[in-house]
């Protein structure tokens, strides 16, 4: 089938693999409309539909024969290990096997010098790794006492072990099989059985003769249009304006301030390709019914549960935590629930060590290129610095406790503006090794940018740990500020002035009727 895609690849200057991948993402749209027409009373047909479409993608279109059977091997291994191994180490056994298999393929990719334009097994395997390891933890949680589980674990635990057909349908869910979005098993079964659409609050919005709430197609195809716009921006500008300009001779000849400024402009163009594929897959998932999160107060269904990225929040972040929470959101959930919480000793709160292990796992999951490890190592330090600033500086700028609704002061406004600018600049600085991949090119780039990211982050940490944090807490006490309880890392927990700890409040129009625990979508750190 390559002959069908070659003319378009030649016209756009892209590889055939890229064109085939985008074609699969677009083909998923009409197939999503067909999926919802399969009666929910016949769940086996829905599972077979997912498996059949996945095989269509892998065999005649992408011609990834070996990849399909490798994925199938990991799926079967996980299924039988989780079923018959009842020990506490079962999730970690699955984690090591699945992640080890992925790492072997990452090594093979490097040995053969595959570029990111080449479609091979690692991209779908990264998504599958999240699904399989999450499944193992959900099964393990289903065997634990309810009082030992937190809210997410209670919602997602698997008490009744699935049939092999159900598990294969889950593993090969077709809108997300190639690049995501990742979903957990209970979320998949709610989709198959349309459980989330059967509640009285939801049924009230569904017209007679329909099974699904309105707005699904509008939400899906608006994502498709935006995904194509992002894709077009990357195709037009990405070949020239990208992070690799830092390696050009003309770049180093410019003044430092111009180099830093130019690097901020190419960052959004680099990210456009990720925005494109994640937005396209989100739309296709919505067409199958995935992503429904409830009903707003004005009676409108909300379809944002399949989102993997919030573009405006990333490009104009209030702070670095909000930025991280808005990028590759589904992977963030996986890292938080299957790594961050699981490596923390029982009875203790997660701290900087848990964060570092999580960032390292994320780098390991992405591949073996040294650039990944530079980015995520830097990310650990950035997170630590951001926590300190939030816990120690921000409370000093909030309205007094006796005037919680007072207008923000000029210093608070300047703090917020500085947070947006610094978060954006640090993102472009820290993310460059992730794209450049090699340590040599990454170090050269950081040097040509004057090490500004390291100066900001390490300078901030030095300030806080050299006495700045103690001084800030003394000032808080002097002003009569009583911050919420803090963990070992100094990060404040709970709420402040009626707002969530990320400094944002939910718009009234987006507050939703909460679905029951079994179907509630929990939205909160791939290629």
- pLDDT tens digits, 241-262: 999 999 999 999 999 999 999 9
Give the DSSP letter string of 380-433.
HHHHHHHHHHHHHTHHHHSPPTT-TTSPPPHHHHHHHHHHHHHHHHHHHHHHHH
CA distance 398 to 103: 46
Q: What does the pLDDT look like over 53-76, one tens digit per residue?
A: 999 999 999 999 999 999 999 999
Task: With CA atoms as reference, report the closest residue to 199 among 521, 523, 519.
Answer: 519
Task: With CA atoms as reference, report the closest residue to 521 among 184, 259, 94.
Answer: 184
CA distance 110 to 465: 40
- 501 domain-assigned: no
Q: Which residue has the tokens 């598990």?
A: 167
Residue at a domain's end among 152, 176, 193: 193
Phi-psi region of 482 (alpha: psi -120 to 50; beta: other; left: phi over 0): beta
- 388 domain-assigned: yes
- 357 domain-assigned: yes
Question: How much is the pTM?
Answer: 0.87
CA distance 194 to 4: 37
What number of H helices and E strands is found in the chain? 23, 2
Task: Determine what percent of the chain is predicted with pLDDT higher than 70.
Answer: 91
Answer for the pair 264, 428: CB distance below 8 angstroms, yes or no.
yes
With a cut of 50, say whether residue 340 has pLDDT above it: yes
Residue scoring higher pLDDT (318 or 269): 269
Task: Determine what percent of the chain is predicted with pLDDT higher than 90.
Answer: 67
Residue at a domain's end among 482, 501, 519: 482
- The Cβ of residue 330 has, within 10 Å, a number of other Cβ atoms equal to 24
Q: What does the pLDDT look like over 400-417, one tens digit per residue?
A: 777 777 788 888 899 889
- The count of structural domains within the chain is 2
**pLDDT at site 482:** 56
Q: Which residue has the tokens 């330090």?
A: 381
- The Cβ of residue 14 has, within 10 Å, a number of other Cβ atoms equal to 18
CA distance 428 to 323: 12
- 476 domain-assigned: yes
- The Cβ of residue 116 has, within 10 Å, a number of other Cβ atoms equal to 14
- 101 domain-assigned: yes
Confidence bin at 522 (pLDDT 50/70/90): very low
Q: What does the pLDDT look like over 4-57, one tens digit per residue?
A: 888 888 888 788 999 999 999 999 999 999 999 999 999 999 999 999 999 999
Residue at a domain's end among 133, 168, 193: 193
Q: Are residues 189 and 334 located together in one domain of the fold? A: no
Q: What does the pLDDT look like over 154-170, one tens digit per residue?
A: 999 999 999 999 999 99
For residue 1, how far is the Cα from the chain centroid? 32
Answer for the pair 515, 291: CB distance below 8 angstroms, yes or no.
no
Q: Which residue has the tokens 């074609």?
A: 23
Q: In the numeric block, which tokens belong to residue 503? A: 């400094």
- 206 domain-assigned: no
Q: In the numeric block, which tokens belong to residue 364? A: 């390991």
**pLDDT at site 481:** 77
- 295 domain-assigned: no
Active-site residue list: 366
CA distance 440 to 433: 9
Q: Which domain does 71 fall in, by range?
A: 1-193
- 287 domain-assigned: no
**pLDDT at site 505:** 39
């Amino acid at each position: 089938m390559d002959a069908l895609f070659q003319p378009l690849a030649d016209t756009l200057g892209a590889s055939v693999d890229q064109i085939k991948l985008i074609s699969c993402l677009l083909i998923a749209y009409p197939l999503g409309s067909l999926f919802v027409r399969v009666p929910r009373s016949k769940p086996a047909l829905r599972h077979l539909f997912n498996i059949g479409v996945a095989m269509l993608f892998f065999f005649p279109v992408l011609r990834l024969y070996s990849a399909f059977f490798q994925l199938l091997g990991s799926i079967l291994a996980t299924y039988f290990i989780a079923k018959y191994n009842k020990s506490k180490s079962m999730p970690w056994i699955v984690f090591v096997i699945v992640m080890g298999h992925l790492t072997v393929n990452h090594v093979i990719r490097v040995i053969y010098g595959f570029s990111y334009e080449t479609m091979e097994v690692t991209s779908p395997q990264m998504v599958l790794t999240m699904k399989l390891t999450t499944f193992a933890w959900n099964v393990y949680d289903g065997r634990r006492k309810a009082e030992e589980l937190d809210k997410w674990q209670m919602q997602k635990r698997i008490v009744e072990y699935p049939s092999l057909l159900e598990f294969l349908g889950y593993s090969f869910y077709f809108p997300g099989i190639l690049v995501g979005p990742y979903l957990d098993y209970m979320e998949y079964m709610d989709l198959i059985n349309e459980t989330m659409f059967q509640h009285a609050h939801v049924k009230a919005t569904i017209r007679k003769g329909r099974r699904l709430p309105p707005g699904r197609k509008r939400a899906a195809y608006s994502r498709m249009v935006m995904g194509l716009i992002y894709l077009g921006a990357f195709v037009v500008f990405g070949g020239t304006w990208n992070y690799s300009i830092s390696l050009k001779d003309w770049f180093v000849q410019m003044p430092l301030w111009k180099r830093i400024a130019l690097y901020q402009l190419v960052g959004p163009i680099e990210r456009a390709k990720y925005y494109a594929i994640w937005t396209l897959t989100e739309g296709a998932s919505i067409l199958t019914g995935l992503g429904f999160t409830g009903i707003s107060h004005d009676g409108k269904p909300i379809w944002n549960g399949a989102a993997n990225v919030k573009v405006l929040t990333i490009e104009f972040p209030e702070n670095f935590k909000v930025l991280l929470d808005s990028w590759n959101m589904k992977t963030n959930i996986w890292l938080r629930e299957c790594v961050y919480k699981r490596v923390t000793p029982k009875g203790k709160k997660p701290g900087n060590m848990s964060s570092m292990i999580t960032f390292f796992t994320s780098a390991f999951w992405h591949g073996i290129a040294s650039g990944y490890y530079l980015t995520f190592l830097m990310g650990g330090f950035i997170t630590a610095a951001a926590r300190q600033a939030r816990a120690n500086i921000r409370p000093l700028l909030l309205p007094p406790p006796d005037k919680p609704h007072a207008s923000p002061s000029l210093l608070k406004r300047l703090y917020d503006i500085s947070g947006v600018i610094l978060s954006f600049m640090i993102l472009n600085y820290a993310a460059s090794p992730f794209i450049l991949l090699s340590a040599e090119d990454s170090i050269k780039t950081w040097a040509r940018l004057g090490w500004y990211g390291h100066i900001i982050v390490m300078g901030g940490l030095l300030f806080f740990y050299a006495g700045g944090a103690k001084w800030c807490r003394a000032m808080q006490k002097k002003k009569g500020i009583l911050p919420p309880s803090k963990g070992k890392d100094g990060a404040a927990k709970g709420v402040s002035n009626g707002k969530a700890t990320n400094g944002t409040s939910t718009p009234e129009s987006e507050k939703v009727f909460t679905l029951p625990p079994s179907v509630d979508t929990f939205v909160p750190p791939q290629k």
